[in-house]
Amino acid sequence: MTTASTRLPEGRYGRSADERADRKLKVIGSVLGAALLVLIGWFAYHYVAGNKISVEIYTFDTSAQSVKVHLRGDKDAGVDGYCTVRSQAENGAEVGRADFRFAAGTTDIDKIVTLRTTSRGTTAELLGCHVG
């Protein structure tokens, strides 16, 4: 004796409800995945391209009451900006901090700035540059 199959014949009655639901989930997942990729790409572009000022400390020279810092770098034309520089004493205490502004008309930055300190500084550290 053979047992009768409870499955419907394939292709005779169209797609089952499970197949339709699977297709909808695949479409929704694809759309959400594409939107996520676009969002990640947008954030990545603005993270990389958003830094309009790129400056580094080239050299520095310390004295009893100040630190002379030679800053070099570049920035986009038409952008005002500033860089924050600090100095620390030998024991790690901060002895000076200042913001140095750059005019909108310059694109190449090659500037020696003087950071006044409360005591002898042993370091010069660029904390960051910002547009504005």
Measured at the CA of 131, the angle between CA 50 and CA 85, to 5 degrees, comes to 115
Digit-coded pLDDT (tens) for 24-46 = 899 999 999 999 999 999 988 87
The domain locations on the chain are 13-50, 53-131
Nearest CA to 73 out of 47, 52, 97 is that of 52
Residue 3 binned pLDDT confidence (cut-offs 50, 70, 90): low
> What integer pLDDT is reported at residue 33 of this predicted model?
95
Name the class of domain 53-131.
Answer: mainly beta
Burial status of residue 101 (CB atoms within 10 A of its CB: 0-12, 13-18, 19 or more): exposed
Is beta strand 53-62 parallel, antiparallel or unpaired with respect to 66-75? antiparallel
Note the Cα 42 to chain centre separation in Å: 12
pTM of the prediction? 0.62
Write out the H or E segment, with its range, that includes residue 121.
none
